[in-house]
Structure 1
Amino acid sequence: MKLLSQTLCLCLILVLFDSDHHLDHHHTDGVPDRCEGKGLEMDAVAVNEEGVPYFFHDHHLFKGFHGKAEMSNETFPELDDHVHVDAAFRMHYEDSDDHDHMFFFFKDKVLSYYQHKLEDGYPKPISEVFPGIPDHVDAAVECPKPECDEDSVIVFKGGDMYHYDVKTKAVTSKNLQNLPSCTSAFRFMEHYYCFHGHQFTKFDPKTGDMHINYTKNAQDYFMRCSTFDSNSDHVEREQCSRVHLDAITSDNAGDIYAFRGHHYLHKDDATDALKAESIESAFKELHSEVDAVFSYEGHLHMIKDDNVFVYKVGEPHTHLDGYPKTVKEELGFEHADHIDAAFVCNDQHIAHIIIDDKIYDVDMKASPRVPTNERPMGVLKHVDAAMCGSTGVKAIVGNHFYHFDSVMLMVAAKALPEQHRVSQELFGCDH
């Protein structure tokens, strides 16, 4: 009987050990998915020196608006299991000695990185680097003049908001009445967002006041996911998303087709009406993830990986027999791993193909078709999508586009023209 009791105890210990070990293993090796369910609560959000947003969750880091998580210490080695990021921001003031430094708050300490390398002497106490700012903060975000009265850092803790003047180190504070408790804060396209749970709220950086009726699902606007909450407004999401477009074109009637991840947005030129659907619902052979698209003689030429699909524009769009064809067969490129953008201007027959920082011409009336006139893109080192119409070329980079009167002027430009917001100026998003 004693032997039986000892055996049962040993088995129970092994079961408990295995259960604990399984839980630890799941915690250590389990990779969070920001598109699962309604999304994740982010502990901190900041942009790097190239403008790429970094989303921190527990000990993981999401770079950009899509892609899998990685361990934070793969990019910032000091962010190990003992460091849980409470808040983060990038100091982006050219007059400051800390210009383009990224700061991470954890407990009562702060870390400073420059070009992803920890600065000497860090970590330091928050009170030493940012005197007047409390420990254990919830969120932080940069706020340049004139968006704030002076170049500042905004810090949130509980129901209080602190403004830290970068130049004078003066601190003012305010108790917030209507803004939710922020777990992270983010400045993006000159707007300010307080993230709380899986949602975010737009706020005024000077007063901390919440914009009326503006609480949204972060997954809808700051993530590129294949599925969304059933309550998601698909048109508004695609119209106002902060995630960059994969491809865009306008057809002979002036209608715009814009592709992002698994969805596309159709803007009717005659009525300005917007329609958002899954790519698979209208272009089932493609499924999703379009690399580039251009319109030519009433057809959409859609490039995905090493293949070109061609659809006749209509309701429904008709997939042409014989397609897809390879990029080599259709456009003559021998070794094109990824085409970034493509467009045809007006009633011309030259397809302009952008790969990395170069642009090529392909005569669509030629047989066989071959790329010619290779030249550098000039000031544009990367383009996500592009289209051309009666007013010229729109080159889309991230969440902005640049307008050029012609392809020649785009290639020859010595400086970037004025930035325009994709969501607002192409699709009429009002927030």
Structure 2
Amino acid sequence: MKLLHVLSLFLAIALAWSDEIEVDPSSAVPDRCLSLEMDAAAVNEEGIPYFFKDGYLFKGFHGLAEKANETFTELDEHHHLGHVDAAFRLHYEDHPSEHNNIIFFLDNKVFSYYQHKLEEGYPKNISEVFPGIPDHLDAAVECPKPECDEDSVIFFKGDDIYHFNVRTKAIDMKEFKSMPNCTSAFRFMEHYYCLHGHMFSKFDPKTGEVHGKYPKEARDYFMRCSKFSNDSDHVERERCSRVHLDAVTTDNEGNMYAFRGHYFLHKDLNDTLKAQTIESAFKEVHSEVDAVFSFQDHLYMVKDDHVFAYKVGETHTHLDGYPKPLKEVLGIDGHIDAAFSCDDHQHVHVIKGSNIYDVDMSANPRAATNERPIAVFKTMNAAMCGPKGVTVVVGNHFYHFQSLMLFVAGRAMPEQHRVPLEMFGCDH
């Protein structure tokens, strides 16, 4: 009884303390799929978007938040603020002395980073680096020629819009009547986006005009989430998303299958698009594939170190005996980035990192052989082969090679195409 009395006393004290302790909601790790309002956004030197919320950083379009000061250490050493006011990438072709810098604004200070290292002499006062630009900014975005009349930075504070000429340091005040006040802004794929709350609008950097049906939900285009807003149009979202594809292939009938996160797009020969969850058509896979390839009227899906196989039809039939180990099916260990077969119908070509391998599907056991480097890309997200050659997806762009040989051995970068526009017909 005495022990029970002591335990009850400790419990009562603990409950009393818990009522008095105030929990700071900002200390919780943010979830990008919960309609967040980002503090700042910028694209790094490799074209990967960075989104900042409180003291956290989201890299790219998916993945968990991490502490911002783990990547940009000095932000925390100089300012224990827990947030970034604004950010942009400073890089202009007409200014060769300037590198790919990421510029941050915190209160009245500006920080300049090159390769994630704070440059000597920073932080500095905003007035010293960008004279005439106010403190406590809402957003900032770079605007190179000819997208702006001169290489410029656009600064946002409330209703005030400042076009700052990088060369002359002159300021041109603008009035963007049709655009809401931006809480963050960034330039991506030569387009300009104003994020306001968890919504966004695409705008003309010279006039601020917003064309099309905006605002739109940011999660539908800049996040890879398993669930979206109730008003989300799945076909519209998947064909216009800025999140890179995980895998893409065509079957023997010429139908295209493009996979991203929990969803996939199906495009038939009439260019009719349908969007479905992966689980609805390929329930054994569930979601998140690494690579998909077509071989002898079957679809093969690689997820982690296993391969799932389906017979193509009105409903895709899961083949008995699958999933099988990746090593057994393709003769290779570990994560792969893409796989595809071409006209010979005997080999599957596997991309892992910047190398490509050949797998003879008639061999037993199978082995990934003939390793050779791919010259023009360091990383690739997806690839497929068709009658006109090899198509490779890197980020939000794709590249076409007339043959497998040109893809592997070529040194010249082919013409760049936009995935949303030219692969899926998205006009915004």
Q: TM (normalized to structure 1)?
A: 0.93
Indicate the SS of the match to 1:67.
Answer: coil
Q: Deviations over 1:44-79 (max 9, x none)?
A: 000111111100011111011000001111111122
Deviation at 1:14? 8.0
Give the 3 Å change call, closer, same or farther, for CA 209–128 of structure 1 in structure 2: same
Deviation at 1:224? 0.3
Alignment of 1:348-387 (within 5 A): 348-387=345-384
One-letter amino acid of the structure 2 residue matched with residue 149 of structure 1: D
Deviation at 1:92? 1.2
**Structure 2, unaligned stretches of length 5 or more?**
1-10
CA distance in structure 1 between the partners assigned to 2:19 and 2:112 by the alignment: 39
CA distance in structure 1 between the partners assigned to 2:40 and 2:345 by the alignment: 48
CA distance in structure 2 between the partners assigned to 1:390 and 1:248 by the alignment: 15
The answer to whether 1:42 aligns with 2:38 is yes
CA distance in structure 1 between the partners assigned to 2:393 and 2:386 by the alignment: 14
CA contact 2:53–2:83 (8 Å) conserved in 1:
no
Q: Deviations over 1:250-274 (max 9, x none)?
A: 01111100000111010012x1110
CA contact 1:55–1:63 (8 Å) conserved in 2:
yes
Q: Deviations over 1:213-248 (max 9, x none)?
A: 221100000000011112100001000000011100
One-letter amino acid of the structure 1 residue matched with residue 37 of structure 2: E
Who is 1:6 aligned against? none
CA distance in structure 2 between the partners assigned to 1:409 and 1:211 by the alignment: 40
Q: Deviations over 1:377-401 (max 9, x none)?
A: 1111111100010111011110001
One-letter amino acid of the structure 1 residue matched with residue 254 of structure 2: G
Matched-pair identity in %: 67
The answer to whether 1:415 aligns with 2:412 is yes
- Higher mean alpha-carbon deviation, 278-287 vs 103-112, is at 103-112
CA distance in structure 1 between the partners assigned to 2:82 and 2:167 by the alignment: 29
Indicate the SS of the match to 2:142.
Answer: strand
CA distance in structure 1 between the partners assigned to 2:377 and 2:112 by the alignment: 31
Who is 1:401 aligned against? 398
One-letter amino acid of the structure 2 residue matched with residue 409 of structure 1: L
Who is 1:274 aligned against? 273
The answer to whether 1:31 aligns with 2:29 is yes
CA contact 1:153–1:166 (8 Å) conserved in 2:
yes
Deviation at 1:324? 0.7
The answer to whether 1:244 aligns with 2:228 is no
Q: TM (normalized to structure 2)?
A: 0.93
Indicate the SS of the match to 2:406.
Answer: helix
CA distance in structure 1 between the partners assigned to 2:182 and 2:223 by the alignment: 19
Alignment of 1:211-290 (within 5 A): 211-269=211-269, 271-290=270-289
CA contact 1:142–1:152 (8 Å) conserved in 2:
yes
Q: Deviations over 1:33-52 (max 9, x none)?
A: 1112xx20011000111111
Give the 3 Å change call, closer, same or farther, for CA 161–12 of structure 1 in structure 2: farther
Who is 2:85 aligned against? 86
Q: Deviations over 1:187-217 (max 9, x none)?
A: 1111000000000001001111122422110
Alignment of 1:7-406 (within 5 A): 18-19=18-19, 21=21, 23-24=23-24, 27-28=26-27, 30-36=28-34, 39-80=35-76, 81-82=80-81, 84-94=83-93, 95=95, 97-269=97-269, 271-333=270-332, 336-346=333-343, 348-406=345-403
Deviation at 1:122? 1.5
CA distance in structure 1 between the partners assigned to 2:402 and 2:20 by the alignment: 64
CA contact 1:384–1:398 (8 Å) conserved in 2:
yes
Q: Which runs of 4+ in 1 moved over 3 A?
A: 11-22
One-letter amino acid of the structure 2 residue matched with residue 311 of structure 1: Y
CA distance in structure 2 between the partners assigned to 1:19 and 1:400 by the alignment: 53
CA distance in structure 2 between the partners assigned to 1:13 and 1:372 by the alignment: 67
CA distance in structure 1 between the partners assigned to 2:125 and 2:12 by the alignment: 46
Indicate the SS of the match to 1:211.
Answer: coil
Give the 3 Å change call, closer, same or farther, for CA 343–125 of structure 1 in structure 2: same
Indicate the SS of the match to 2:220.
Answer: helix
Give the 3 Å change call, closer, same or farther, for CA 205–317 of structure 1 in structure 2: same
CA contact 2:391–2:398 (8 Å) conserved in 1:
yes
Aligned length: 414
Indicate the SS of the match to 2:84.
Answer: coil
CA-based RMSD:
1.7
Deviation at 1:131? 1.1
CA contact 2:111–2:122 (8 Å) conserved in 1:
yes
